[in-house]
């Protein structure tokens, strides 16, 4: 799946995360004769390519895979910043690297821990796998009006391999859900009540859990497609156009330093919510809304010890990546009345280390997280320099980002709510909840947002095609036009399905 770049293809895909993988999968299923080249700036760190690093059982090999994902200056090892999250210190999670400059402008809140991953599979090699559905104001109204949103979300579930039963054997999962439901479910619609978190994870025949990465999204349909090729360590520096239409990409082979042009009938840019607008800007494609309406999810965290905890008689032992089954992952859905999305997770399922587990009673401590929906503003944006460059040689970023009075009010409510939920489960480990530094959610959205018309407030159409640049499609969380509090991956994959279907239909109607 690697080798010399082709001179031309039908579709060039920039980025190998879950949305780029979704484009490849749908095209492989619906247009199997189309030639597809996927370009990823980072290396292949797992086998199969794009697999989640949690599935690497050897901890040293897993750490190497994470370290190799950490950007243009990544290494095989080196000193890692770990420890319990207690301060506002800037730190990157394993498998990610921070925006080194431009993350905060004086007088603004900024995104101090804005971060990226560079590897085959993108952030899906490191994520928690949570795939809740958007609710109430999180939903995309114009897709609901067309009657397509839920069907697209169903397709997203299929591609990601989403289940809700992976942790059903966890001895304390039902106890956590029951205690939360007792204080939270009153007055909620059935689909809004406390429930199992939908997760992109499945159980093998031997009982071990396997977490979905881009490998699952691509599936056999893509891997067995002789017309699909994946090129890692390949930096796309420009989208090419001819008479205004997307015509291919300029790509540099990071192994040799040589640059090439690959012509394409369609181009999909699915980097992430910061690097996708960066590439468009570098290509001279600059819609008015490009980089604007940037939004993150303020994240409030808290840890408690389960009340009246009774250890399981016999633990089965750790699964892949040292994950044992204790209390699983529970979901408290977002509503307009309570504008935050809740996750309650056993400690070793969470990427954020909130406490040390109790060696005498493993599994007795759970972490709670509430994610808050942002008050959207066009002024929250990422700008790009005409002169300065980043570690990849692309235009340097500056983030402008400010919390509004409404944001502060929602955060204050979330701090009160998370203590109430935590006390329903057990005894708090700390007196007060902690707000993670902005950017910690890694759920950046809105910078290439979708809209129904080219009115300066959106970048792409409902099919994810860039206004004024036919043949150029975008993927990723940046396309989501609403302020979500839930994990956005399922939604962004669903939107990628619509874009891929549109390309497949165009290929069928105008074959060459």
- Catalytic positions, written as ranges: 443
Q: Rg (Cα) of the chain, in Å, rounded?
A: 22
Measure Cα distances from 310 to 307, 314, 327, 334, 350 in Å. 9, 12, 12, 31, 22
The half-sphere exposure of 277 on its side-chain side, counting CA atoms within 13 A, is: 32
Closest CA to 473 of 239, 303, 275, 309: 239
Backbone torsions φ then ψ of 498, nearest 5 degrees: -60, -40
Tokens standing for 183? Answer: 């204080």
What is the per-residue DSSP string for 71-108?
-TT--S------S---S----PPTT-EE--SSS--TTS
Strand-strand pairing, 162-163 and 381-389 = unpaired
User: CB under 8 Å to 300, separation ≥6 — which residues?
Assistant: 340, 369, 370, 372, 411, 414, 415, 418, 433, 434, 435, 436
> d(Cα 12, Cα 188) in Å, to the nearest integer?
45
Exposed, middle or buried, 105 (CB in 10 Å: 0-12/13-18/19+)? middle
**Cis, bond preceding 48 (omega within 30 deg of 0):** yes
Return d(Cα 348, Cα 502) in angstroms, integer.
40
Phi, psi angle pair for 313, to nearest 5°? -55, -40
Q: How many helices (H) and strands (E) does the chain have?
A: 9, 21
Please list, residue by residue across 67-98, b when 16 or more beta carbons sit within 10 angstroms of its beta carbon and e when fewer do: bbbbbeebeeeeeeeeeebeeeebbbbbbbbb
C-beta separation of 7 from 263 below 8 A: yes
> Tokens for 237?
């520096």
Cα 89 to Cα 110, 379, 444: the distances in Å are 14, 26, 20
């Amino acid at each position: 799946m690697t080798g010399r770049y082709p001179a031309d293809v039908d579709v060039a895909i920039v980025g190998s995360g879950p949305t780029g993988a979704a484009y490849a999968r749908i095209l492989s299923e619906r247009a199997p004769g189309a030639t597809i080249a996927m370009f990823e700036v980072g290396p292949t760190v797992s086998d199969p390519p794009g697999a989640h690093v949690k599935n690497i059982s050897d901890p040293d090999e897993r750490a190497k895979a994470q370290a190799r994902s950490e950007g243009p200056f990544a290494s095989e090892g080196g000193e890692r910043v770990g420890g319990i999250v207690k301060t506002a210190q800037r730190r990157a999670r394993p498998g990610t690297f921070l925006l080194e400059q431009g993350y905060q402008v004086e007088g603004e809140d900024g995104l101090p821990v804005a971060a990226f991953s560079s590897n085959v599979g993108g952030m899906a090699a490191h994520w928690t796998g949570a795939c809740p559905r958007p609710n109430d104001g999180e939903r995309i109204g114009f897709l609901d009006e067309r009657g397509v949103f839920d069907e697209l979300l169903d397709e997203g579930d299929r591609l990601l391999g989403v289940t809700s039963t992976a942790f059903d054997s966890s001895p304390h999962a039902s106890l956590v859900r029951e205690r939360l439901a007792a204080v939270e479910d009153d007055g909620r619609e059935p689909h809004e009540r406390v429930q199992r978190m939908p997760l992109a994870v499945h159980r093998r025949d031997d009982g071990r859990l396997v977490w979905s990465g881009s490998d699952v999204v691509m599936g056999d349909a893509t891997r067995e497609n002789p017309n699909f090729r994946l090129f890692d360590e390949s930096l796309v520096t420009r989208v090419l156009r001819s008479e205004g239409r997307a015509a291919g990409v300029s790509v540099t082979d990071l192994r040799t330093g040589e640059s090439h042009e690959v012509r394409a009938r369609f181009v999909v840019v699915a980097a992430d919510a910061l690097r996708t607008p960066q590439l468009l800007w570098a290509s001279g494609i600059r819609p008015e809304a490009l980089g604007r309406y940037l939004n993150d999810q303020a994240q409030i965290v808290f840890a408690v010890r389960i009340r009246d905890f009774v250890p399981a008689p016999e633990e089965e032992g750790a699964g892949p990546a040292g994950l044992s089954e204790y209390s699983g992952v529970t979901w408290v859905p977002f509503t307009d009345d309570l504008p935050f999305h809740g996750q309650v997770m056993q400690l070793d399922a969470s990427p954020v280390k909130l406490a040390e587990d109790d060696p005498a009673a493993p599994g007795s401590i759970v972490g709670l997280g509430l994610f808050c929906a942002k008050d959207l503003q066009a002024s929250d944006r990422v700008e790009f320099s005409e002169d300065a460059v980043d570690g990849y040689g692309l235009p340097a970023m500056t983030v402008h980002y400010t919390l509004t009075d409404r944001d502060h009010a929602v955060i204050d409510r979330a701090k009160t709510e998370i203590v109430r939920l935590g006390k329903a489960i057990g005894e708090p480990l700390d007196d007060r909840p902690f707000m993670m530094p902005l950017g910690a959610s890694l759920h950046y959205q809105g910078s290439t947002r979708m809209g129904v018309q080219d009115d300066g407030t959106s970048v792409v159409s409902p099919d994810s095609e860039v206004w004024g640049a036919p043949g150029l499609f975008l993927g990723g969380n940046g396309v989501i036009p609403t302020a979500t509090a839930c994990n956005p991956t399922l939604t962004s994959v669903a939107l990628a399905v619509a874009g891929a279907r549109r390309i497949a239909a165009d290929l069928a109607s105008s074959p060459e």
